[in-house]
Amino acid sequence: MFDKFDDLQEKIAHLEGRLSDPSLMSDQKAYQKVAREHAHLSKLHALYVQYQQVEVDIEENKQLLQLDEDVDIQDLARAEIDELKKKECELQDSIRLLLLPKDPNDERNTFLEIRAGTGGDEAALFVGDLYRMYSRYAESQGWRIEVMASSPLGTGGFKEIIALISGDQVYSRMKYESGTHRVQRVPETETQGRIHTSAVTVAILPEADEVEVDIKMNELKFDVFRSSGPGGQSVNTTDSAVRVTHLPTGLVVICQDEKSQHKNKAKALTVLRARLFDQVQQEHHDKISLDRKTQVGSGDRSERIRTYNFPQGRLTDHRINLTIYRLDSIMDGKLDEVIDPLINHDQAEKLREIE
């Protein structure tokens, strides 16, 4: 594991030189990439230095056991060796985690798509509830969230809502949310107190650059129409809403939230680019491994991943058998206690694969 660690300092020094290069500073995207690599290698180097020191300390205590005949000194040496070996194992695990292959999308901004499934009006209302939950979580993380497209209903819910979340490490934390989310609660319109079960689907798509997805304009069909809100009332009197159809795949994106046709068109193309990028990635992953669908964070949107039971105040994540009785807190955006266990489980599975 440590064969190539001796030249870490040289690599870090090289990256530090690049970070001070004015030409790199003028390209913010390239600068951030180098800065992230520098931070990663610096953290790795710091852990390696600690590991080396622990190895030295263990060896010194072993020599003390052999050379010192004082029983108390030997007992202290044995106790310290035990503590040092625990620290050695912890450092090895930390280093292994940093050496795991990185998901190339982890640094990307992310599209959040929430759609009503079975359950009618109650499912549409839960789309709005989940969007508020994710919005509050994004705010707590210092991320920016922007609605790209939405289909509001007269009931106060949404048929679907699509948002772009921008910030640091967005995809790395949000990618575990893809799948079917089931809700169990008593609807406000229910007069006999019966619990209804509804479902919505969540899709997490990494944002794609223009250079990564080449969309040919002759493969697109554009339709414009007047935006409409809940109940069909006119939002404005100009044809500002845009429907984009990608003819080769049949993918359709509708954006009508902006009053400007130009802005709606730009948003629709951004969403379409992300969907095409995701489609290519899904096909690639399916070819690589059928086992991927059994892993946490596989992004299989047909999988029921979570149940929100309001009468019991319970959230259950079915992938890792996690149950939390703080549903109100979670719906208020306190999602770390759900996401952190998923990340830990995923990392543990990957570590097992390389052992």
- The last residue of a domain, from among 99, 132, 156: 99
Question: Is there a domain that residue 104 lies in?
Answer: no
- Position 312, amino acid: Q
At residue 295, the pLDDT reads 47
Q: Based on the domain organization, do 70 and 128 belong to the same domain?
A: no
At residue 229, the pLDDT reads 58
Domain membership of residue 229 as a residue range: 110-349
Q: Based on the domain organization, do 65 and 180 belong to the same domain?
A: no
Q: Based on the domain organization, do 122 and 57 belong to the same domain?
A: no
Q: Based on the domain organization, do 165 and 53 belong to the same domain?
A: no
At residue 354, the pLDDT reads 66
Integer Cα distance of 109 and 29 in angstroms: 13
- The last residue of a domain, from among 64, 99, 134: 99
Question: Is there a domain that residue 355 lies in?
Answer: no
Q: Based on the domain organization, do 90 and 118 belong to the same domain?
A: no
At residue 3, the pLDDT reads 64
Residue 34 CA from chain centroid, whole number: 22
Token digits of residue 212 = 């990564």
Question: Is there a domain that residue 130 lies in?
Answer: yes
Q: Based on the domain organization, do 147 and 229 belong to the same domain?
A: yes
Question: Is there a domain that residue 210 lies in?
Answer: yes
- Which among 162, 138, 136 has a CA at the least distance from the CA of 149? 162
Q: Based on the domain organization, do 179 and 211 belong to the same domain?
A: yes
Q: Annotate the chain with three-state secondary structure.
A: CCCCHHHHHHHHHHHHHHHCCHHHHCCHHHHHHHHHHHHHHHHHHHHHHHHHHHHHHHHHHHHHHHHCCCHHHHHHHHHHHHHHHHHHHHHHHHHHHHHCCCCCCCCCCEEEEEEECCCHHHHHHHHHHHHHHHHHHHHHHCCEEEEEEEEECCCCCEEEEEEEEECCCHHHHHHHHCEEEEEEECCCCCCCCCCEEEEEEEEEEECCCCCCCCCCHHHEEEEEECCECHHHCECCCCCCEEEEEECCCCEEEEECCCCCHHHHHHHHHHHHHHHHHHHHHHHHHHHHCHHHHHCCCCCCCCCEEEEEECCCCEEEECCCCEEECCHHHHHCCCCHHHHHHHHHHHHHHHHHHHC
Q: Based on the domain organization, do 35 and 157 belong to the same domain?
A: no
Q: Based on the domain organization, do 40 and 174 belong to the same domain?
A: no
Question: Is there a domain that residue 47 lies in?
Answer: yes
Domain count, the chain: 2
Q: Based on the domain organization, do 94 and 118 belong to the same domain?
A: no
Encode the chain (355 residues) as per-residue pLDDT tens digits. Answer: 566 677 888 888 889 899 888 888 888 778 888 888 898 899 999 999 999 999 999 999 998 888 878 888 888 999 999 999 999 999 988 888 888 888 888 888 999 999 999 888 899 999 999 999 999 999 999 999 999 989 998 878 999 999 999 998 899 999 999 999 999 998 876 767 789 999 999 999 999 876 678 788 899 999 988 876 554 444 555 678 899 999 999 999 999 888 888 999 999 999 999 999 888 877 766 654 544 444 455 445 567 899 999 999 999 999 999 999 999 999 999 999 999 999 999 988 887 776 6
Q: What is the pTM of this model?
A: 0.75
Question: Is there a domain that residue 147 lies in?
Answer: yes
At residue 231, the pLDDT reads 44
Give the CATH number, domain containing residue 285.
3.30.70.1660
Question: Is there a domain that residue 105 lies in?
Answer: no
Q: Based on the domain organization, do 176 and 235 belong to the same domain?
A: yes
Q: Based on the domain organization, do 85 and 37 belong to the same domain?
A: yes
Question: Is there a domain that residue 354 lies in?
Answer: no
- The last residue of a domain, from among 59, 78, 99: 99
